[in-house]
Structures are given as C-alpha cells and as structure tokens.
Structure 1
Amino acid sequence: MIDLLILMIERVGILLIVVFLLSRLRSFRQIINNEHGLKEKLLLIAVFGMFGIISNYTGIEIHSGVITSVGWQTEVDYDNAIANTRVLGVALGGMLGGPLVGLGCGLIAGVHRMTLGGYTAYACGFSTILAGLVTGMIGMHLRKKEKATPWRAVAIGLIMECFQMVIILAAARPFEAALELVKLISIPMIMINGFGMLLIMLIIQSILQEEERTRALQTHKALYIADQTLPFFRQGLNVRSCREVAEIILKGTNADAISITNEDQVLAHVGAGADHHIPLQSISTQLTKHVMEQGRILMASSRDEIQCDQRNCPLQAAIVLPLKVHGRTAGTLKLYFTDPSRMNRVEQELAEGLGKLFSTQLELADAELQSKLLKDAEIKALQAQVHPHFLFNAINTISVLCRTDPEKARELLLRLSVFFRSNLQGARQMLIPLHKELEHVEAYLSLEQARFPDKFTVKLDIDPSLEQVLIPPFTLQPLVENAIRHAFPKRAYKHGQVSIRAYRENDRMVLITEDNGKGIPVDLLGILGKQTVSSAEGTGTALHNIHMRIGEIYGGEADFRIESERDEGTKVIIMVPVHHNMEGEPYFEGVYSR
C-alpha cells in the first residue's frame, strides 16, 4: 500500500505540472475566471477530459495484488485493473463548469477507461461518468450560494472516490478480485485524489485572486487617472486641456505615446512620434478615421495597421478608443506602443476603462456647461427685474426743476444717465467692482433726495481697500431703495437715516445696509429674502433676487441675513469672499474707471 501511495503521488505530480503550465496561459486563466458560455464550457470539457485521459495512461496496473508500474498504460489485461487519478480531473471539471462540463469530462475519461480493458473497465467508466454529473450539479449549487471553497472541493473529491469503490464492488466481477483490489487501492486513491484536488483548487483559487487583484489595481489606476484628468476634461476638448490630459495618461500607463483628437484634428500628442503627430494638424492615421466612422474600439499590432503616412514612424501598435458625448463620437483617445508585445491585455482593459470614464466626464462637462448657461440666463433675468421703480417719478421731478432750477435739473439728468448706464452695465456683467455699485447708489440717492429733500440722510462708511472687490450688480441699490420706500412712514415721526458700511472680516467683505425705520413685521421677517411675499407694501422681490443671485454665484462662501426690530429699524447683512473667480466671466480688473 505504501508503494502504491508513493506511485500515486508521482501521478498527481504530473497533473499538477500540467495545471501549473496551463495556469500561465492567458486563455486558460480567462476560461477559469470568466462566466462560462458554450464555447468556454467546451474548452473546459476538453481540458479536464484530457486530465482524465492522462490519468488513465499513467495509471498503475495491479494483478492479483501485485503492483506493476509502467511508463504509459495503453492496454490492460482482462484479469488486471489500474489505480489512477481519473476522478480528480472529472470532479474538477464538474466543480468549475457545472453539470454539462462534468458530464462531458466524465464521458471522455470514462469511455477512454473502458477502451483500455480490465475486469473493472466498465465499473470504473460508469462511476467516472456518474461522478462528473454529480460533482457538476453540486458545484453549480455551491457557486450559486458562493460556497465553493477548496476544502469543500476536497470533500466532494473524497466522496466521489469512495463512491467509485462502491461501484467497483457492486459491478466488477469476480467479486473476490474486486474486493481485494478495493482493499489495496481505496486508501491510497482516496487520500491522493483528495490531496491532488486540494492543490489544484488552490492553484485555481490563486488564478482567481490574481485576476481580482489585477482588476482592482486597474480600477484604482483608472479612477486615479480619471480624477487627475477631470479638471481638464471639464474644459472640453481643446489643445490646452487635452495636452494636460495626455501627459497624465502617459505617466499612468505603459504606453509610449498618447494622442487625443476631436472629429477633425489632433489636439494633443505626447511621447514617441511627437515630431510628426503635431497638434492642430488633420488626423493622419487611417486607424483613427475608422474609429471615428465606426464608433468602436480598434487595435493595431503593426505599423501597417496603424497606417501612419510617415514612413519612419516609431509607433508599432495602438489602442484607439472613441470618446463619446451623448452617443456621438466627439473624438478619440489613442495609446501607442513602440513594441507590440507591451500592448497586453492589462493595458487594453485599462484603456477601455479610461475611454468609458473620459466619455462620461465629457458628457458631464457638456451638461455642466449647459447648466451654467441656463443659470447665467436666470441671473440676468433676475437682474433685469431690479430697477423699473422710479423712472417716471424722476422724469417728473426733473421736468419741474427745468422751470425753477435749470442747473439742478441738468445735474439730475446727468445722474439719471449714470443710473441707467449702471443698469445697462449690470445687465451685461455677473460681477462688478464695489465702487461701481456705489456710483449706482449715489445716482439713485441724488434723484430721490431731489424729490424728498428732508425725508432722509445717507451715511457711507466704506473701507477704501475694498473698492475693487467684485460683487453682483444691483446688490446695494435695491436695499437702499427699499429703506427709503418702506422703512419711513409718510408721517415722519423721526428723521430717516440710512447707512452703508463695508469692512473686511478675515477673507470676506461684510456689506451692511441699515436704516432706523419702522422695521419689518415678525411674520414676514422669517421669509423675506427666501421667497416673494404678498403684502400691501411690496412683494419682497428685490430681497429675494439678491439672495438668489448671491447663492447662485458664491454658493456656501457667502451669507445673507436680515435683522429687524419694530420701530428700531432694519439691517441687511451680506458677506461675500474678497477673492472670487468666475470661470468664463468677462470682467478684468481695470476695465472700469472712475
């Protein structure tokens, strides 16, 4: 028995060598790792059926309890039997591929065993076919519940080997010879097949784990590259952004050159071949043109397939991916290699993942641009609502002064022109300097004080260092207008005072417009600025518009608050960042002059 055990270990060693060599083949690893279609199942049947045939040929012949070891077992005498590891390959096939694979492997190995002969030929052949079918059903059940572990596979292999011994006893004749055979071979075969099952399952498990680690690394690398390129793809496909993106991808992959195109031109090319693949030139490779036309990934493994019009181009292989925006191919991403062997499966899968991520980024950038344009249009519409209140009153006042004080009338006409020029400039700009908004306020106050010379006074307290800070137009003027129109009742019980202050607090500018008027009712104070209201004195549209514009432009960097007490006055506090960049905003410092 010990001699048989040692010989069986040698036979298992042969299978382990075969499995190890197969595990180095990419095609075998893909079959093991992927979900199995019919093609993959047939390949599994062929592979593990071959294991069964090898086990039959390397079997150890036994005659009347005497062990005979030959190199290659091609025929077994009728009075003899063989001990082998046939069930090992069949059980593995069933565990990995399910009932169809198990049955297929069992038929190949079992029928082949029957052809070799011996008094156990049909018993062994039948038990092999049955073992393949049973292990396939058990394997399918375990995979569905995600419980297919190496130790469970070992247990199944041991049970199948025991089952084979039972069938030999039941079917092989003469019974006495079968009984002596089982006594001799049962323990070595059960032990060795279980041990071999464990080792091979561990090899297969390492294949699966290695594939998972590779995919995890690819995913991590793809997400890292996507994160680095996101700020640039948000700018769309242009020469500057694409060059930055290409350099990031070149550093993050094994490619020798990276190229990005739009529909017509090369926007960026970094790495090998940069001497003739020049930005803003027309697309020169036929491969890229085919990708643009077909909208699918294409690969080339030779210079002829790339079809570059430069004879000495060093680029020998390429992966070209379409960059799609809302289903339309807007450009291509190309990974070039100077050595075709470097364009392995890992690089291909990484490139495919990047292509999908970049297409998504471009779609998001396009959606973001559309959202920004819509938001800008909404802000412009809000700004246009702020100033239609007092035009006719101003004209009437000026017309009266034309008779009584022509010089004053002339001054007010100039102020009126400043007022409406500020309106026009504000309607075109998202942000203006604080001093321009103050000019707007002063023009308005001049016109109002001409109508009501004794109704109110205004005090300005502005930090000179903040006069160039950008704020939304129509921010202060509507607040001053609200104070004058609503804060002071018609029967003036005290002289109205309005103050405007601007000072710095850390990195923010604080703007406070305050009056000493009648205050705001408590039931309105909580909703003013957040929504329009319905009241006899007004709708709160100006406050709502200012609040909305500040929120749209600055987000969480700004603050808008209203504080008020009855008969004590109202204070509107606005806090905005001192430094704020509006992407795409046409304002530049120095455009406005005093």
Structure 2
Amino acid sequence: MFSLVPLMIEKVGIIVIVAFLLSRMKSFRQMVQKEHNKYEKMMLILLFGAFGLISNFTGIEVNSQAFNQTDWITEVNAESALANTRVMGVVIGALLGGPVVGLGAGLITGLHRYTLGGFTAFSCSISTIIAGLAAGYISKKRKQNGKKITPLLAVGIGMTFEALQMLIILLTAKPFADALNLVQIIALPMVLINGLGTLLFMFIIEAIMREEVSVRANQTNLAFRIADRTLPYFRQGLNAHSCKEIAAIILKLTDADAVAITDDQKVLAHAGAASDHHVPMADLITGMTRKTIERKKISVARTKAEIFCSHHHCPLEAAIVIPLKVKNHVVGTLKIYFTDPEKLDNVQQQLAEGLANLFSTQLELAEAEHQAKLLKDAEIKALQAQIHPHFLFNSINTISALCRTDANKARKLLLEFSSFIRGNLQGAKQMLIPLEKELKNVTAYISLEQTRFPNKYDIIFDIEPNLEKVYIPPFTLQPLVENAIHYGFPRSKSKGEIRIEIHSQDNYLQIIVHDNGIGISEDRMKELGKQVVTSTKGNGTAIFNISERLKGIYSGQANLTIKSKADIGTTVHISLPLYHKRGDQQVV
C-alpha cells in the first residue's frame, strides 16, 4: 500500500505542473477569474476533461500481485484496476464551473476510463461522473449563498468523492474479493494523494485570483491617480489646452502608444504615435470615432482596418474609443491607441472604460460648478448693484439747494456724487477692487452726508500703509459707514465719532468700523447678518448683503462679526484673505 504513495505523488506532480504552466496563460487566467458563459463553460469542460484524460493515460495499473507502471496506458488488463488522479481534475473543474462543467468533465473522463477496461472500469467511470455532478451542485449552492470555495473545503470534497469511489468499487466491482483487496491497497494512498493534489491545484487557482485582485487594485489606483492629476484641467471644460494636458498625462501613466481627446466635431488633442496626421483642431478622420459618437457606445478595434484611419501609413493598429457624456449627451470621446494589437488586453480595456466614466463625471461636475458659479456671480452682482434710493434723492436735493446758496460747494459735491455713482457702477461689474477705490467711494459718500449733517460726527481713518493695492469686494466699507451714520446717532445732541481702522494680520486683512453711538439691542444682534430684519429703523439689508457676498466670494474663509453695547457703541469687524493682484491672477 505505502509503496504506491511515491508513484501517486509523481502522477499528481504531472497534473500540478501542467496546471501551473496553464496558469501563466492569459486565456486560462481569464476563464478562471470571471463568470462563465456557455462558450467558456464548454472550454472548461474540455480543459478539465483533458486533465482527466491525462490522469487516465498516466495512471498506475494495479493487480493483486504488483503495480504495473508504464509511460502511457492505453489498455488495462481484465484482472487489473487503475490508480490515478482523475477525480481530482473533475472535482476542481466542477467547483470552478458548476454542475454543467462537472458533468461534462466527468463524462469525458469517466467514459474514457471505461474504454480502458479492467474489472473496475464501470465502477470508476460511474463514480467519476457522480463526483463531477455532485461537486458542481455543491459549488452552485455555495455561490448562491454568497460563500467561497476555500482550498481546505475543496480538499475535503475531493477526498470525500475519492472515498465514495472506493465504496462504489466495493458495491459494483466483481468479484468482490478482488474489489476488497484492491480497495485495501489503493484507498488510503488515493484519498490522501488526491487530497494533496487538490490542495496544490487550489493554491494555484487562489494565486490567480489574488493576482487579479492585485491587478484590479493597481488599475483602480492608477485610474484615481490619473483622475486626480487631470481634474484641474477638466474643470476648464473640453478645450485644446486642457485636453492637451490630459492626453499627455494619460500617455505618460499608461501603456498606450497614443492618446487623443475629441469633442463631437474635431480632434482637440493627440499625443504619441501618429501625431503627424492626427492633428489637433482638425476634423475627425477615423470612422471609428464618428461611429462611437453616433451610437453613444464604446468601440474596440483590434486591426488597422477597424480604426478606419484615412492615412494609409498610420502606425496605429488597435484602439479603444469611449464616449464622454454629460447628462447622457455625448460631448466628445477618449481614444487610446496601440501600435501592437496584443497590448489591447482586457486590463487596458477596463482601465479605459473606468477612466471614461471618471472623466464623464468630472465633466458633469465641472459643468455644474460652472453653472453654480454663474448663478452665484449673478447674485453677488445684484447685491453689489443695490444703492439706497433715499440717499440718491437726498443727495440730489442737497446739491440742488446749494446751487442757490453756494455754487462752488455745489459743484464740488456734484463731482463727489458723480464719483460715488461711478464707483457703484464699476463695482457692480467687478468681484474685487483695490482698497484705494473703496476708500475713494467712502470719502465721496462721507462728503455728501457731512454736507447734509454738518458737525454731527467726526470720521477718523487709521489705515496701515501699503495696503492700497490690496483687493477687497466692492461695497464692503461704505455700507458700514452708512449704517453708523444713520443708526448710530439718531437725534443725538452730542458729536459722534466713527473710526475706520484697516490693517493686516497673519495674511488676513482686518477692517474695523467703530462708532460711539447708541448701540444695538441684543434681540436685533442675534439676527443681524443672518437674515433681512424688518424694523422701523432699517431692515439689516447692508449687513446681510455684505455677509452673503463674503460667503460667495471667499467660500467660508472670510468672517464678519458685530459687537455692540447700549449707549457705548457698535464695532463691525471684517476679516478676509489678503489678496493682491498680478495680471489676471489673485495671489496672497
């Protein structure tokens, strides 16, 4: 019995070596890794049926006297049996492919075993078919329940069906005495060694699965790296500059020989091979691209003819073209080309599809971001364009009255009024203006107000030098001064004071407007800046307006706070990022 063990190990080694060599083949790995259609199940039947045939041909002929080991068995003596590893291949095929594969591989192996002869021919053939079918159903049930076939479970199933084969031999092989003697010789070696072979085979299968997971993880990581590096350009939309940078990034980080991006009319960018005739801003020259745009579906070409390039000497021989969609509308394509069709494998195709999905999402987000920005800009400009109508009427009336009493002063005020109106009109068109322009606007406003209410208050400026060119939102300072004048000193007999302080601190511009007026009640303080407040003295529009504009422009980086005490005064403090401007760029 034990002298059979090394011979069985040798036979198992042959099967394991063949399995290992097959595991290096891409077609075999693909069959193992994914769900199987009818064609793939047929291929698995033939493959694991072939394993069974190899086991039959390389088996060990056993009789009551000795073991007969030949290089290739084509016939078994009528008084002999065959010790081999056929059940192992059939069971593994069934565990991978289910009952159809198990039955098919079992029939191929079992019927071939029956043709070899020997007094256990029928017993071995029927036990092989039963093992394949039963193992397939076990695999199917576990998959339906979301459970995996582990190597140890596979070993247990393989050893169980090998033991079942011994039982079937005892029940069906004649004469029984010979059957019993055979089982006593081969049972333990075949059960154990087939279990060992199943374990080694399953380790190979698991290694293939782990490699697939690793490849997918690397592929996903690569896709996200590409997406991260291309995101700033996709935010610019599909244009020649952004697509040129995107194509260069994809070409550098993938195995592609050329990368192109188009809109629905022309090539926006092409990097890599065939750049001599795949020219940016030219019309689409490949029929494959036009077909992809029309059908809104991915196109794969594995020959030069399928690409439909009009240039006869184009080196590109394989391509994948994926539509880029925004709200299910094709706005362009991503094209990945290869000079060697073999490079366009399943991994490259999945990567390209993943990138196209990510890019389509990025384009949708960029479009949504652009629309939101347009809306926010419109809201901010509408807020900036607001001028208190009473101020306009009062200023005009004041200038009109001075025309009769003091023409020179009226002329001066008219110029200040013109400057103020011009500042408002310009400010409504710009998101940020230099501080010096805002101060000029404030000065014009104060001149008009102090003419109406002379000696009612003093304005004190405390401004840090060299901040004149710093950019701030228009109408940030003037409404605060207006609030202080109108609501800080109503019917006050004593002279008021408004202090405007502006300085820099930790890369932030600090704007502080303080008055020593009557202050603000606690109830009103809770609402100021958060909503428009209805009252007899005002509705809090100015503070709310400034607060909303700061949120829209600085996205939470700016801050507005109000502190006030009854009969002591009010302080409004605005802190915003310290921006300067160089050309069209704003920099800290």
- Identify whether the pair has TM-score above 0.5, normalized to the shorter chain: yes
How far has the Cα of 1:259 moved from its partner? 1.7
How far has the Cα of 1:412 moved from its partner? 1.9
1:573 matched to which residue of 2?
A: 573
Separation of aligned partners in 2, 1:317 and 1:38: 27
Which range is displaced more, 114-123 or 164-173? 114-123
Structure 1 gap ranges (5+)? 590-594
How far has the Cα of 1:287 moved from its partner? 2.4
Separation of aligned partners in 2, 1:134 and 1:312: 57
How far has the Cα of 1:123 moved from its partner? 2.0
Q: Find out whether 1:511 has 2:511 as its counterpart.
A: yes
- Cα gap change, 1:377/1:476 in structure 2, threshold over 3 Å: closer, same or farther? same
Paired residue secondary structure (2:274): coil
Paired residue secondary structure (2:555): helix
1:211 matched to which residue of 2?
A: 212
Letter of the 2:187 partner, please give it.
S
Paired residue secondary structure (1:465): coil
Q: Is the 8 A contact 1:429 1:587 kept in 2?
A: no
Q: Is the 8 A contact 1:96 1:139 kept in 2?
A: yes
Q: Is the 8 A contact 2:471 2:581 kept in 1?
A: no
How far has the Cα of 1:238 moved from its partner? 1.1
- Cα gap change, 1:540/1:158 in structure 2, threshold over 3 Å: closer, same or farther? same
Q: Is the 8 A contact 2:469 2:580 kept in 1?
A: no
Please give the TM-score of this superposition, normalised by the length of structure 1: 0.93
Q: Find out whether 1:106 has 2:106 as its counterpart.
A: yes
1:368 matched to which residue of 2?
A: 369
How far has the Cα of 1:196 moved from its partner? 0.8
1:240 matched to which residue of 2?
A: 241
2:521 matched to which residue of 1?
A: 521
Please give the TM-score of this superposition, normalised by the length of structure 2: 0.94
Q: Find out whether 1:419 has 2:420 as its counterpart.
A: yes
How far has the Cα of 1:518 moved from its partner? 0.7
Q: Is the 8 A contact 1:418 1:443 kept in 2?
A: yes
Which range is displaced more, 20-29 or 199-208? 20-29
- Cα gap change, 1:109/1:467 in structure 2, threshold over 3 Å: closer, same or farther? same
How far has the Cα of 1:226 moved from its partner? 0.9
- Cα gap change, 1:587/1:382 in structure 2, threshold over 3 Å: closer, same or farther? farther
How far has the Cα of 1:369 moved from its partner? 0.6
Q: Is the 8 A contact 1:222 1:350 kept in 2?
A: yes
Q: Is the 8 A contact 2:288 2:299 kept in 1?
A: yes
Q: Is the 8 A contact 1:512 1:572 kept in 2?
A: yes
1:545-577 Cα shifts (integer Å, max 9, x gaps): 101111111123211111111111111111111
Separation of aligned partners in 2, 1:359 and 1:519: 55
1:348 matched to which residue of 2?
A: 349
How far has the Cα of 1:333 moved from its partner? 1.7
1:68 matched to which residue of 2?
A: 68
Letter of the 2:429 partner, please give it.
R
Please give the residue correspondences for 1:11-160 in structure 2 after superposition, counting only pairs within 5 Å: 11-143=11-143, 144-160=145-161
Q: Find out whether 1:472 has 2:473 as its counterpart.
A: yes
Separation of aligned partners in 2, 1:41 and 1:383: 70
Paired residue secondary structure (2:320): strand
Paired residue secondary structure (2:503): strand
Structure 2 gap ranges (5+)? none
Separation of aligned partners in 2, 1:255 and 1:495: 78
Paired residue secondary structure (1:466): coil
1:330 matched to which residue of 2?
A: 331
How far has the Cα of 1:586 moved from its partner? 7.3
Please give the residue correspondences for 1:304-453 in structure 2 after superposition, counting only pairs within 5 Å: 304-453=305-454
Separation of aligned partners in 1, 2:355 and 2:580: 33
Separation of aligned partners in 1, 2:234 and 2:581: 19
How far has the Cα of 1:100 moved from its partner? 3.2
- Cα gap change, 1:386/1:122 in structure 2, threshold over 3 Å: closer, same or farther? farther
Letter of the 2:115 partner, please give it.
T
Which range is displaced more, 322-331 or 477-486? 322-331
Q: Is the 8 A contact 2:385 2:425 kept in 1?
A: no
How far has the Cα of 1:235 moved from its partner? 0.5
Q: Is the 8 A contact 2:58 2:84 kept in 1?
A: yes
Paired residue secondary structure (2:354): helix
Letter of the 2:422 partner, please give it.
R
Paired residue secondary structure (2:466): helix
Letter of the 1:199 partner, please give it.
L
Separation of aligned partners in 2, 1:136 and 1:456: 95
- Cα gap change, 1:415/1:236 in structure 2, threshold over 3 Å: closer, same or farther? same
Separation of aligned partners in 2, 1:489 and 1:205: 84
Please give the residue correspondences for 1:136-215 in structure 2 after superposition, counting only pairs within 5 Å: 136-143=136-143, 144-215=145-216
- Cα gap change, 1:50/1:290 in structure 2, threshold over 3 Å: closer, same or farther? same
Separation of aligned partners in 1, 2:437 and 2:218: 55
Q: Percent identity of the aligned residues?
A: 55
The total of aligned residue pairs comes to 586
Q: Find out whether 1:481 has 2:476 as its counterpart.
A: no
Separation of aligned partners in 2, 1:448 and 1:349: 70
Separation of aligned partners in 1, 2:32 and 2:219: 19
Paired residue secondary structure (2:535): coil
Separation of aligned partners in 1, 2:378 and 2:45: 65
- Cα gap change, 1:334/1:557 in structure 2, threshold over 3 Å: closer, same or farther? same
Q: Find out whether 1:562 has 2:562 as its counterpart.
A: yes
- Cα gap change, 1:268/1:92 in structure 2, threshold over 3 Å: closer, same or farther? same
How far has the Cα of 1:478 moved from its partner? 0.8
1:480-513 Cα shifts (integer Å, max 9, x gaps): 11111111121x1421111211111121111111
Separation of aligned partners in 2, 1:146 and 1:494: 86
2:538 matched to which residue of 1?
A: 538
1:296 matched to which residue of 2?
A: 297
